[in-house]
Protein backbone atom coordinates (compact mmCIF):
# COMPACT_ATOMS: atom_id res chain seq x y z
CA UNK A 1 0.00 0.00 0.00
CA UNK A 2 1.23 3.52 -0.81
CA UNK A 3 0.39 6.65 1.20
CA UNK A 4 -3.23 7.76 1.09
CA UNK A 5 -2.26 11.42 1.43
CA UNK A 6 -3.62 13.38 -1.54
CA UNK A 7 -1.08 14.54 -4.10
CA UNK A 8 -1.45 18.34 -4.16
CA UNK A 9 -1.00 18.92 -7.89
CA UNK A 10 -2.95 15.93 -9.22
CA UNK A 11 -6.48 16.27 -10.60
CA UNK A 12 -9.04 15.56 -7.88
CA UNK A 13 -10.45 12.68 -9.91
CA UNK A 14 -9.25 10.85 -12.97
CA UNK A 15 -10.93 7.87 -14.58
CA UNK A 16 -9.05 6.38 -17.54
CA UNK A 17 -10.92 4.09 -19.92
CA UNK A 18 -12.89 2.37 -17.17
CA UNK A 19 -15.16 -0.61 -17.70
CA UNK A 20 -17.46 -2.03 -15.05
CA UNK A 21 -18.63 -5.54 -15.91
CA UNK A 22 -21.14 -7.44 -13.73
CA UNK A 23 -22.40 -10.91 -14.63
CA UNK A 24 -20.88 -10.54 -18.09
CA UNK A 25 -22.72 -7.27 -18.74
CA UNK A 26 -20.96 -3.92 -19.33
CA UNK A 27 -22.49 -1.35 -16.96
CA UNK A 28 -19.77 1.11 -18.03
CA UNK A 29 -17.61 0.84 -21.13
CA UNK A 30 -14.49 2.90 -21.87
CA UNK A 31 -15.46 5.93 -19.78
CA UNK A 32 -12.85 8.61 -19.05
CA UNK A 33 -13.19 11.73 -16.94
CA UNK A 34 -10.89 14.25 -15.25
CA UNK A 35 -12.18 16.58 -12.54
CA UNK A 36 -10.06 19.55 -11.44
CA UNK A 37 -10.47 21.85 -8.43
CA UNK A 38 -13.24 24.39 -8.93
CA UNK A 39 -15.07 22.34 -11.58
CA UNK A 40 -18.71 21.37 -11.11
CA UNK A 41 -19.67 18.33 -13.18
CA UNK A 42 -23.09 16.97 -14.00
CA UNK A 43 -23.44 13.27 -14.87
CA UNK A 44 -26.49 13.00 -17.11
CA UNK A 45 -28.26 10.04 -18.68
CA UNK A 46 -31.49 8.08 -18.77
CA UNK A 47 -32.50 5.52 -16.12
CA UNK A 48 -29.98 2.70 -16.07
CA UNK A 49 -27.36 4.60 -18.12
CA UNK A 50 -24.67 3.95 -15.49
CA UNK A 51 -24.54 7.27 -13.59
CA UNK A 52 -24.63 5.77 -10.09
CA UNK A 53 -22.16 3.06 -11.14
CA UNK A 54 -19.72 5.79 -12.24
CA UNK A 55 -20.31 7.83 -9.08
CA UNK A 56 -19.51 4.74 -6.97
CA UNK A 57 -16.12 4.50 -8.73
CA UNK A 58 -15.42 8.20 -8.23
CA UNK A 59 -16.34 7.95 -4.54
CA UNK A 60 -13.94 5.01 -4.06
CA UNK A 61 -16.92 2.82 -3.16
CA UNK A 62 -16.21 0.23 -5.88
CA UNK A 63 -13.44 -0.69 -8.31
CA UNK A 64 -13.45 -0.77 -12.12
CA UNK A 65 -13.18 -4.13 -13.87
CA UNK A 66 -10.74 -2.61 -16.38
CA UNK A 67 -9.04 0.79 -16.55
CA UNK A 68 -7.82 3.00 -13.73
CA UNK A 69 -9.42 5.43 -11.29
CA UNK A 70 -7.25 7.95 -9.46
CA UNK A 71 -8.80 9.79 -6.53
CA UNK A 72 -6.78 12.81 -5.35
CA UNK A 73 -3.82 11.44 -7.30
CA UNK A 74 -3.92 7.99 -5.70
CA UNK A 75 -4.85 4.95 -7.73
CA UNK A 76 -7.76 2.88 -6.45
CA UNK A 77 -6.50 -0.57 -5.57
CA UNK A 78 -3.12 0.74 -4.44
CA UNK A 79 -4.20 2.78 -1.39
CA UNK A 80 -6.34 2.35 1.70
CA UNK A 81 -9.75 3.37 0.37
CA UNK A 82 -11.02 4.40 3.83
CA UNK A 83 -8.23 6.98 4.14
CA UNK A 84 -9.08 8.43 0.72
CA UNK A 85 -12.76 8.66 1.55
CA UNK A 86 -12.08 11.15 4.34
CA UNK A 87 -11.24 13.65 1.58
CA UNK A 88 -14.51 13.00 -0.27
CA UNK A 89 -17.84 14.43 0.79
CA UNK A 90 -20.42 11.79 -0.08
CA UNK A 91 -24.04 12.54 0.80
CA UNK A 92 -26.20 9.55 1.67
CA UNK A 93 -29.82 10.63 1.08
CA UNK A 94 -30.95 7.70 3.27
CA UNK A 95 -29.05 8.92 6.36
CA UNK A 96 -30.17 6.39 9.00
CA UNK A 97 -30.76 8.80 11.92
CA UNK A 98 -34.06 8.34 13.74
CA UNK A 99 -33.51 10.31 16.97
CA UNK A 100 -34.43 14.00 17.49
CA UNK A 101 -30.87 15.36 17.62
CA UNK A 102 -30.54 19.10 17.04
CA UNK A 103 -29.65 19.82 13.41
CA UNK A 104 -26.39 21.49 14.48
CA UNK A 105 -25.31 18.25 16.22
CA UNK A 106 -26.15 16.20 13.13
CA UNK A 107 -23.95 18.50 11.04
CA UNK A 108 -21.09 18.10 13.57
CA UNK A 109 -21.28 14.27 13.29
CA UNK A 110 -19.72 14.80 9.85
CA UNK A 111 -16.42 15.25 11.74
CA UNK A 112 -16.65 11.95 13.62
CA UNK A 113 -18.27 10.18 10.64
CA UNK A 114 -20.85 8.69 12.98
CA UNK A 115 -24.65 8.70 13.01
CA UNK A 116 -24.96 9.61 16.72
CA UNK A 117 -22.46 11.95 18.44
CA UNK A 118 -19.40 10.19 19.89
CA UNK A 119 -19.94 10.10 23.73
CA UNK A 120 -16.89 12.10 24.85
CA UNK A 121 -16.23 14.09 21.67
CA UNK A 122 -16.58 17.90 21.79
CA UNK A 123 -16.08 20.25 18.84
CA UNK A 124 -13.46 23.00 19.04
CA UNK A 125 -14.60 26.61 18.75
CA UNK A 126 -13.28 26.60 15.20
CA UNK A 127 -15.23 23.47 14.29
CA UNK A 128 -18.43 24.93 15.79
CA UNK A 129 -17.92 28.13 13.81
CA UNK A 130 -17.42 26.08 10.63
CA UNK A 131 -20.70 24.23 11.29
CA UNK A 132 -22.50 27.58 11.66
CA UNK A 133 -20.94 28.82 8.43
CA UNK A 134 -22.07 25.73 6.51
CA UNK A 135 -25.58 25.83 8.02
CA UNK A 136 -25.81 29.44 6.87
CA UNK A 137 -24.51 28.63 3.36
CA UNK A 138 -27.05 25.82 2.99
CA UNK A 139 -29.89 28.11 4.16
CA UNK A 140 -30.37 26.12 7.39
CA UNK A 141 -29.11 28.51 10.09
CA UNK A 142 -32.70 29.17 11.27
CA UNK A 143 -33.25 25.43 11.90
CA UNK A 144 -29.93 24.75 13.70
CA UNK A 145 -31.55 24.11 17.12
CA UNK A 146 -34.55 22.16 15.81
CA UNK A 147 -34.85 18.37 16.18
CA UNK A 148 -33.75 16.41 13.10
CA UNK A 149 -37.06 14.54 13.06
CA UNK A 150 -38.99 17.77 12.39
CA UNK A 151 -37.15 18.63 9.14
CA UNK A 152 -38.71 18.26 5.70
CA UNK A 153 -36.99 16.10 3.09
CA UNK A 154 -35.50 19.18 1.40
CA UNK A 155 -34.22 20.58 4.70
CA UNK A 156 -32.64 17.23 5.56
CA UNK A 157 -30.94 17.17 2.18
CA UNK A 158 -29.38 20.58 2.73
CA UNK A 159 -28.33 19.71 6.30
CA UNK A 160 -26.69 16.50 5.04
CA UNK A 161 -24.68 18.47 2.49
CA UNK A 162 -23.47 20.72 5.35
CA UNK A 163 -22.61 17.54 7.32
CA UNK A 164 -20.65 16.08 4.39
CA UNK A 165 -18.67 19.33 4.13
CA UNK A 166 -17.60 19.42 7.80
CA UNK A 167 -14.26 17.60 7.23
CA UNK A 168 -13.53 20.17 4.49
CA UNK A 169 -13.36 17.66 1.64
CA UNK A 170 -11.96 18.79 -1.69
CA UNK A 171 -14.67 16.98 -3.59
CA UNK A 172 -18.42 16.65 -3.01
CA UNK A 173 -20.41 13.84 -4.70
CA UNK A 174 -24.18 14.25 -4.98
CA UNK A 175 -26.47 11.49 -6.28
CA UNK A 176 -29.78 13.00 -7.47
CA UNK A 177 -30.00 15.52 -4.60
CA UNK A 178 -33.23 17.11 -5.90
CA UNK A 179 -35.23 13.90 -6.34
CA UNK A 180 -38.58 14.06 -4.59
CA UNK A 181 -38.31 17.76 -3.69
CA UNK A 182 -41.13 20.17 -4.42
CA UNK A 183 -40.41 23.24 -6.55
CA UNK A 184 -39.51 25.55 -3.64
CA UNK A 185 -37.30 22.95 -1.95
CA UNK A 186 -35.51 22.24 -5.23
CA UNK A 187 -34.87 25.92 -5.86
CA UNK A 188 -33.58 26.42 -2.30
CA UNK A 189 -31.22 23.47 -2.76
CA UNK A 190 -29.89 24.71 -6.10
CA UNK A 191 -29.47 28.25 -4.75
CA UNK A 192 -27.54 26.87 -1.76
CA UNK A 193 -25.26 24.84 -4.04
CA UNK A 194 -24.55 27.95 -6.12
CA UNK A 195 -23.75 29.93 -2.94
CA UNK A 196 -21.54 27.10 -1.63
CA UNK A 197 -19.56 26.99 -4.87
CA UNK A 198 -19.07 30.76 -4.76
CA UNK A 199 -17.87 30.71 -1.13
CA UNK A 200 -15.55 27.67 -1.64
CA UNK A 201 -13.88 28.25 -5.01
CA UNK A 202 -11.44 25.32 -4.63
CA UNK A 203 -14.19 22.76 -4.05
CA UNK A 204 -15.14 20.44 -6.93
CA UNK A 205 -18.52 18.71 -7.19
CA UNK A 206 -19.99 15.86 -9.22
CA UNK A 207 -23.79 15.80 -9.35
CA UNK A 208 -25.90 13.00 -10.84
CA UNK A 209 -29.31 13.73 -12.31
CA UNK A 210 -31.56 12.87 -15.22
CA UNK A 211 -33.38 16.20 -15.15
CA UNK A 212 -31.74 19.26 -16.71
CA UNK A 213 -33.99 21.49 -14.58
CA UNK A 214 -32.07 20.14 -11.55
CA UNK A 215 -28.70 21.52 -12.71
CA UNK A 216 -27.39 24.46 -10.65
CA UNK A 217 -26.45 27.40 -12.85
CA UNK A 218 -22.84 27.14 -11.60
CA UNK A 219 -22.46 23.77 -13.40
CA UNK A 220 -19.24 24.01 -15.44
CA UNK A 221 -18.93 20.58 -17.11
CA UNK A 222 -21.12 17.64 -18.09
CA UNK A 223 -20.66 13.99 -18.99
CA UNK A 224 -23.46 12.29 -20.90
CA UNK A 225 -23.91 8.53 -20.48
CA UNK A 226 -25.97 6.20 -22.62
CA UNK A 227 -26.11 2.45 -21.95
CA UNK A 228 -22.81 2.63 -20.08
CA UNK A 229 -20.95 4.52 -22.82
CA UNK A 230 -19.86 8.16 -22.85
CA UNK A 231 -21.78 10.19 -25.47
CA UNK A 232 -19.87 13.42 -24.70
CA UNK A 233 -17.86 15.04 -21.90
CA UNK A 234 -16.54 18.58 -21.51
CA UNK A 235 -17.56 22.19 -20.81
CA UNK A 236 -21.29 22.38 -20.15
CA UNK A 237 -22.04 24.83 -22.98
CA UNK A 238 -20.50 22.40 -25.50
CA UNK A 239 -22.13 19.27 -24.09
CA UNK A 240 -25.62 20.27 -22.91
CA UNK A 241 -26.92 20.92 -26.43
CA UNK A 242 -30.06 19.83 -28.26
CA UNK A 243 -28.07 17.41 -30.44
CA UNK A 244 -26.02 15.73 -27.73
CA UNK A 245 -28.81 15.51 -25.14
CA UNK A 246 -31.08 13.99 -27.83
CA UNK A 247 -28.37 11.43 -28.59
CA UNK A 248 -27.89 10.73 -24.89
CA UNK A 249 -31.56 10.08 -24.17
CA UNK A 250 -32.30 8.47 -27.55
CA UNK A 251 -35.17 10.85 -28.13
CA UNK A 252 -35.48 14.21 -29.90
CA UNK A 253 -35.23 16.79 -27.13
CA UNK A 254 -34.97 20.55 -27.40
CA UNK A 255 -32.76 22.39 -24.87
CA UNK A 256 -32.97 26.02 -23.90
CA UNK A 257 -30.88 27.97 -21.38
CA UNK A 258 -32.32 31.03 -19.70
CA UNK A 259 -30.75 33.03 -16.85
CA UNK A 260 -28.14 30.29 -16.50
CA UNK A 261 -30.64 27.42 -16.04
CA UNK A 262 -31.64 24.72 -18.50
CA UNK A 263 -35.01 23.48 -19.70
CA UNK A 264 -35.64 20.34 -21.74
CA UNK A 265 -38.74 19.36 -23.71
CA UNK A 266 -39.56 16.95 -26.50
CA UNK A 267 -38.54 18.54 -29.81
CA UNK A 268 -41.23 19.24 -32.41
CA UNK A 269 -38.95 17.91 -35.15
CA UNK A 270 -36.21 15.33 -34.74
CA UNK A 271 -32.59 16.51 -34.98
CA UNK A 272 -31.12 15.44 -38.34
CA UNK A 273 -28.78 12.77 -36.97
CA UNK A 274 -31.44 10.82 -35.04
N1 LIG B 1 -24.39 -5.08 -9.05
C2 LIG B 1 -25.00 -5.07 -10.24
N3 LIG B 1 -25.08 -6.20 -10.97
C4 LIG B 1 -25.70 -6.19 -12.17
N5 LIG B 1 -26.28 -5.10 -12.72
C6 LIG B 1 -26.23 -3.95 -12.03
C7 LIG B 1 -25.60 -3.87 -10.76
N8 LIG B 1 -25.72 -2.59 -10.32
C9 LIG B 1 -26.40 -1.90 -11.27
N10 LIG B 1 -26.71 -2.72 -12.29
C11 LIG B 1 -27.38 -2.34 -13.55
O12 LIG B 1 -26.51 -1.43 -14.19
C13 LIG B 1 -27.25 -0.47 -14.94
C14 LIG B 1 -26.77 0.91 -14.57
O15 LIG B 1 -27.20 1.19 -13.24
P16 LIG B 1 -26.99 2.61 -12.55
O17 LIG B 1 -27.69 2.55 -11.23
O18 LIG B 1 -25.56 2.96 -12.58
O19 LIG B 1 -27.79 3.56 -13.55
P20 LIG B 1 -28.26 5.07 -13.36
O21 LIG B 1 -27.87 5.79 -14.60
O22 LIG B 1 -27.73 5.61 -12.07
O23 LIG B 1 -29.81 4.89 -13.32
P24 LIG B 1 -30.99 5.70 -12.54
O25 LIG B 1 -31.09 7.02 -13.21
O26 LIG B 1 -32.18 4.85 -12.78
O27 LIG B 1 -30.60 5.77 -11.08
C28 LIG B 1 -28.71 -0.74 -14.65
O29 LIG B 1 -29.27 -1.47 -15.72
C30 LIG B 1 -28.67 -1.59 -13.37
O31 LIG B 1 -29.77 -2.46 -13.34
**CA 48 – ligand 1 centroid, Å:** 5
Domain residue limits at 136: 94-168
The preferred substitution site among 21, 22, 23, 27 for testing ligand 1, maximizing ligand atoms within 8 Å of CB, is: 27
How confident is the prediction along the chain (274 residues), in pLDDT tens digits per residue?
Answer: 455 566 667 899 999 999 999 999 999 999 999 999 999 999 999 999 999 999 999 998 889 999 999 998 889 888 777 777 778 898 877 888 888 999 999 999 999 888 988 889 999 999 999 999 999 999 999 999 999 999 998 999 999 999 999 999 999 999 999 988 899 999 999 999 999 999 999 999 999 998 999 999 999 999 999 999 999 999 999 999 999 999 999 999 999 999 999 999 987 765 555 5
Residue 174 and residue 160 share a domain: no
Q: Is the dihedral of CA 178, 184, 190, 196 positive or negative?
A: negative
Residue minimizing CA distance to atom 18 of ligand 1: 50
Query: Is residue 261 situated within a structural domain?
Result: no
Query: Is residue 163 situated within a structural domain?
Result: yes
Query: Is residue 260 situated within a structural domain?
Result: no
Distances (CA, A) of 239 to 27, 196, 216, 253: 22, 24, 15, 14
Query: Is residue 186 situated within a structural domain?
Result: yes
Do residues 207 and 239 lie in contact, with contact meaning Cβ atoms separated by under 8 Å? no
Residue 148 and residue 214 share a domain: no
Cβ of 20 less than 6 Å from ligand 1? no
Residue minimizing CA distance to atom 28 of ligand 1: 48
State the total domains in the chain: 2
Residue 49 and residue 2 share a domain: yes
The pLDDT tens digits for 141-177 are: 999 999 999 999 899 999 999 999 999 999 999 999 9
| End position of a domain, from candidates 150, 168, 186 | 168
Residue 156 and residue 59 share a domain: no
Residue 164 and residue 100 share a domain: yes
**CA 227 – ligand 1 centroid, Å:** 10
Residue 183 and residue 68 share a domain: yes
Q: What is the pTM of this model?
A: 0.91
DSSP assignments along the chain, one per residue: ----SPPTTS-SEEEEEEEEEETTEEEEEEEEEEE-TT-EEEEE-STTSSHHHHHHHHTTSS--SEEEEEETTEETTTS-HHHHHTTEEE--TT----S--BHHHHHHHHHHT-SSPPTT----HHHHHHHHHHHHHTT-GGGTTSBGGG--HHHHHHHHHHHHHTT--SEEEEESTTTT--HHHHHHHHHHHHHHHHH-TT-EEEEEES-GGGS-TT--EEEEEETTEEEEEEEHHHHSSHHHHHHHHTS-EEEEEETTEEEEEE-SS--TT-
Cβ of 52 less than 6 Å from ligand 1? yes
Residue minimizing CA distance to atom 10 of ligand 1: 27
- State the pLDDT at residue 9: 75
| ipTM computed for the complex | 0.95
**CA 252 – ligand 1 centroid, Å:** 24
The pLDDT tens digits for 196-213 are: 999 999 999 999 998 999
Amino acid sequence: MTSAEPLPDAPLLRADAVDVVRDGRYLLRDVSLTVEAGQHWALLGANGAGKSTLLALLGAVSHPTHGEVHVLGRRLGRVDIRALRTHLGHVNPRHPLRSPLPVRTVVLTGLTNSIEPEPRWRPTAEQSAHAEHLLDTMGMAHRADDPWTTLSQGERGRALIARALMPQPRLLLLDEPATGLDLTARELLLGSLDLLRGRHPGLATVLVTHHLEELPETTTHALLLREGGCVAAGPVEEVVTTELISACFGHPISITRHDGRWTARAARTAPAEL
